[in-house]
Structures are given as structure tokens and as C-alpha cells.
């Protein structure tokens, strides 16, 4: 029983630490097993509205994940990879309403907590698109949304690696 309780507590902790929200969309009926090589859609990459340093970090993270998954980078690819980025502000409102009571050295006390707390978080959104190079059609799109936490280049690189990894774990779609 003790092991089961520890496992559940660890699972809750891991789920609570998950800060990258991911989703995907894809062209139903596509045979994703046919795609083995990739390249970048230069025009789309050039238009991404981020710094050149962040762009390099994202492309390096995509390369790392694609190569680790068995893809080959090519000048004549099966799939063109494109990225799109944006930032947004998420607003969380917490309703704090309740009563509490207690007894301590000073005697008995009670009180209430009322009102709302508002928390704003800056988030980055990264879209990774796979385009069938032959048909020039979008076949898969992965999206990751995560809080922007640091301006430290090393931490930013690690964060981008994690976001890209979470997005690309969805490929190929199971469906």
C-alpha cells in the first residue's frame, strides 16, 4: 500500500511539473511512414518573428530531435519543416473565498479570506509545420505553449529543447 501511495504522489508531482501544453493536427489519410527526409522552408523560417539567436536555437532543437528519430536532412526532402512563433499573455484568476479557524497559544481565532487573485504569465507559442514537399500541402502541425521563464541563454536553450521535444513526440500521429 505504501508503494502505491508513493507512486501516485510521484505521478501527481510529475504531472504538476508538466509546463508545456502540446497539441497537434494532421491531414487524415496521409501515410506518414513514407516520409524519411526533411529540409527547412526557408521563406517561412525567415519570416518567423523572433530573434536570430532564438531561431537558431529552435532549428538546432528540431535537428536534434529529427535526427534522433531517424530522419535525414536533405537538399531534396520529402518534408519541408516550417516554424511560426508568437507570444501571448495568459491571465489566471483565482477565487479566494473561505473561512478558517484555529486554536493556538493565544487562544481561539477565526477569520475569512475573500477576493480574487490575478496572475499573468507570458507564454511562448511554437508551431512546427510539416509540409509535403512534392504536393506543397501541410500534412502535420504540432503546437507547444509554455511559460517564458528566463533570459539566460543556457536556460533558454534547454527550455527550447524541451518544448521542441514535447511537440515532436506527437509525430507521427496515432490515429
Cell of 60: 538546432
- Per-residue pLDDT at 150 exceeds 70: yes
Confidence band, pLDDT 50/70/90 cuts, at residue 142: very high
pLDDT at 12 over 50: no
Q: Which three cell numbers stand for residue 61?
A: 532543437
3-state helix, strand, coil in the chain (%, to 5): 35, 40, 25
Cα-based distances in Å from 104 to 110, 111, 112, 113: 11, 14, 17, 19
Residues 161 and 158: their CA atoms lie apart, in Å, by 5
Q: State how far the Cα of 79 lies from the Cα of 36, in Å rounded to an integer.
A: 8
- Of 101 and 127, the structure prediction assigns the larger pLDDT to 127
- DSSP string of 111-173? EEE-SEEEEEEEEEEEEEEEEETTTTEEEEEEEEEEE-----HHHHHHHHHHHHHHHHTTPSP
Share of the chain above pLDDT 90, in %: 61
| 111-119: average pLDDT | 64
Whether residue 15 is predicted with pLDDT greater than 60 in this model: the reply is no
- The total number of residues shown for the chain amounts to 175
Mean pLDDT, range 38-60, rounded to an integer:
94
Give the mean pLDDT of 57-70: 98
Mean pLDDT of the chain: 83
d(CA 134, CA 80): 9
The whole-number pLDDT of residue 111 equals: 62
For 18, 47, 59, 80, 89, the CA distances from 42, given in Å and listed in that order, are 32, 9, 11, 9, 29
The segment with the largest mean pLDDT, out of 21-25, 111-115, 171-175, is 21-25
Amino acid at each position: 500500500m505504501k508503494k502505491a501511495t508513493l507512486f501516485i504522489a510521484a505521478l501527481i508531482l510529475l504531472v504538476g511539473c508538466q509546463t508545456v501544453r502540446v497539441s497537434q493536427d494532421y491531414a487524415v489519410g496521409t501515410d506518414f511512414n513514407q516520409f524519411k527526409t526533411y529540409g527547412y522552408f526557408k521563406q517561412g523560417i525567415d519570416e518567423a518573428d523572433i530573434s536570430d539567436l532564438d531561431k537558431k536555437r529552435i532549428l538546432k532543437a528540431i535537428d536534434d530531435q529529427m535526427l534522433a528519430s531517424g530522419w535525414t536532412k536533405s537538399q531534396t526532402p520529402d518534408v519541408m519543416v516550417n516554424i511560426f512563433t508568437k507570444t501571448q499573455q495568459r491571465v489566471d484568476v483565482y477565487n479566494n473565498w473561505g473561512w478558517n479557524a484555529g486554536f493556538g497559544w493565544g487562544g481561539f481565532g477565526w477569520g475569512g479570506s475573500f477576493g480574487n487573485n490575478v496572475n499573468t504569465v507570458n507564454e511562448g507559442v511554437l508551431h512546427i509545420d510539416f509540409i509535403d514537399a512534392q504536393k506543397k500541402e501541410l500534412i502535420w502541425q504540432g503546437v507547444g505553449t509554455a511559460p517564458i521563464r528566463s533570459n539566460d541563454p543556457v536556460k533558454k536553450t534547454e527550455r527550447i529543447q524541451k518544448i521542441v521535444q514535447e511537440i515532436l513526440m506527437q509525430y507521427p500521429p496515432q490515429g
